[in-house]
Structure 1
């Protein structure tokens, strides 16, 4: 914990320095607030409107978490299937890569046409954003298992399923968590994009209303909230990774 605190003060110091430069530059250049508000103005707007922000934040959190869980579950299942079925991997993996070349912002209107303005198209957007990093990271983790360890499992008489559960999955766990951390940050972005499809609450809705009324300070409030949520989700996954990896190490020892 002490090491994290020692490492954490440096980026925090850089962030505070950038905010001070931003504040001073806006004041000296006399930039109008609708064009670029000062950090102090953004903080005042966030503090004064916190009661109205809470429903939007809560909606985005629930949407992000739900889509993240579904997307990561799909990603892990796809990675396991492709790993255990090499013939299917050769046929499907190029299609997975091709699916990521379609921008989500372009696909979103089609999802509305096909599934309406309900919850389903929003979950699909977040799932599409989250599943690919997890799937690719997990597959890379499976492939990184040393060949001699696989050979040892075969010599010990282990089946393919036993080799996967006892060797390949534990070995790939660190790679899976790397994908989870990427997806955790992407889930917030996916939730905000999905809220542009016609939600009643959410940071995406708040940002759209602020932008249409030229409330640049509120737009920046939304941006900082998105950043904070992304960092929060990233931190939760990192904490879970540290706990699980330590638990596995203690069990092995």
Structure 2
């Protein structure tokens, strides 16, 4: 897709954001809304610039926890998904437990990680990895199960082993669906890391948010939220770029004879 087409495709989003910010700013100014209730975009921007010397380092710590935890989630999520696909016994034994683990709220698990890991960064990385691997594991299983049988039949007929077929054929065909799970996981990584920090940490955006809340500085709460959103967008762009590099454009997977 050309740059012009990309810009044209994103233009409605840009316009919608500009209109939303303009309405937000006007509503706060004309309505004389209390700054402790909700802040105008201009106030949030000014507060972000003013406090960047502390907000930036806090964001760097949360970013490190999120990225490292996300990489662990991707690796272990795919490995667990493959294991669930290959072994019916493993699937029957552990899939319900994996699903049940994801239903537990973070606030009930975080105290345990504080006991096990203390206030160190390693505990936040583990929390991020645990909460991030489930959608990846599920989509890996579903992707492998959705691979048409003829792919395996062709590979095996040509002399490939079942293990080679799994790693070089089935996973390649299922890769698009696996990336769907990776994107779902990436969308919540930094929010999970920040929440874990809020419940107990020494540094990071969670602690920064807690300090802003305790001092009733509403613009700083919005500043931290915007930083988390921007970090998530950057991670999503990185995921999309890696998919394009590894698998090529999505249109390359379409059957050219499908419409004939």
Deviations 1:122-180 (A, max 9, x none): 12210112111111111111011012222333433432202202211101111121111
* Structure 1 Cα separation of the partners of residues 121 and 58 of structure 2: 15
Is 1:65 the equivalent of 2:71?
no
Deviations 1:187-237 (A, max 9, x none): 111210121243232111111100111000100001111111111100111
* Structure 1 Cα separation of the partners of residues 195 and 64 of structure 2: 14
- Aligned-residue Cα RMSD (Å) equals 1.8
Is 1:138 the equivalent of 2:166?
no
TM-score for both structures, normalised by structure 1:
0.93
Q: Unaligned 5+ residue runs, structure 2?
A: 254-260
* Structure 2 Cα separation of the partners of residues 28 and 67 of structure 1: 44
Tell me the residue number matched to 1:128.
Answer: 130
Tell me the residue number matched to 2:107.
Answer: 105
Tell me the residue number matched to 1:13.
Answer: 15
Cα pair 2:73 2:133 within 8 Å, conserved = yes
Tell me the residue number matched to 1:234.
Answer: 236
Is 1:30 the equivalent of 2:32?
yes
Superposed, 1:156-167 pairs within 5 Å as: 156-167=158-169
* Structure 1 Cα separation of the partners of residues 49 and 145 of structure 2: 49
Cα pair 1:199 1:205 within 8 Å, conserved = yes
Is 1:246 the equivalent of 2:225?
no
Tell me the residue number matched to 2:43.
Answer: 41
Superposed, 1:188-227 pairs within 5 Å as: 188-227=190-229
Superposed, 1:152-191 pairs within 5 Å as: 152-191=154-193
* Cα offset, 1:247, TM superposition: 8.7
Cα pair 2:194 2:206 within 8 Å, conserved = yes
Number of residue equivalences: 250
Provide the secondary structure at the position in 2 that maps to 1:214.
coil
Q: Unaligned 5+ residue runs, structure 1?
A: none
Cα pair 2:151 2:170 within 8 Å, conserved = no
* Cα offset, 1:49, TM superposition: 1.6
Tell me the residue number matched to 1:78.
Answer: 80
Cα pair 1:56 1:202 within 8 Å, conserved = yes
Give the 4+ runs in structure 1 shifted more than 4 A.
247-250
* Structure 1 Cα separation of the partners of residues 170 and 117 of structure 2: 38
TM-score for both structures, normalised by structure 2:
0.90
Cα pair 2:70 2:129 within 8 Å, conserved = yes
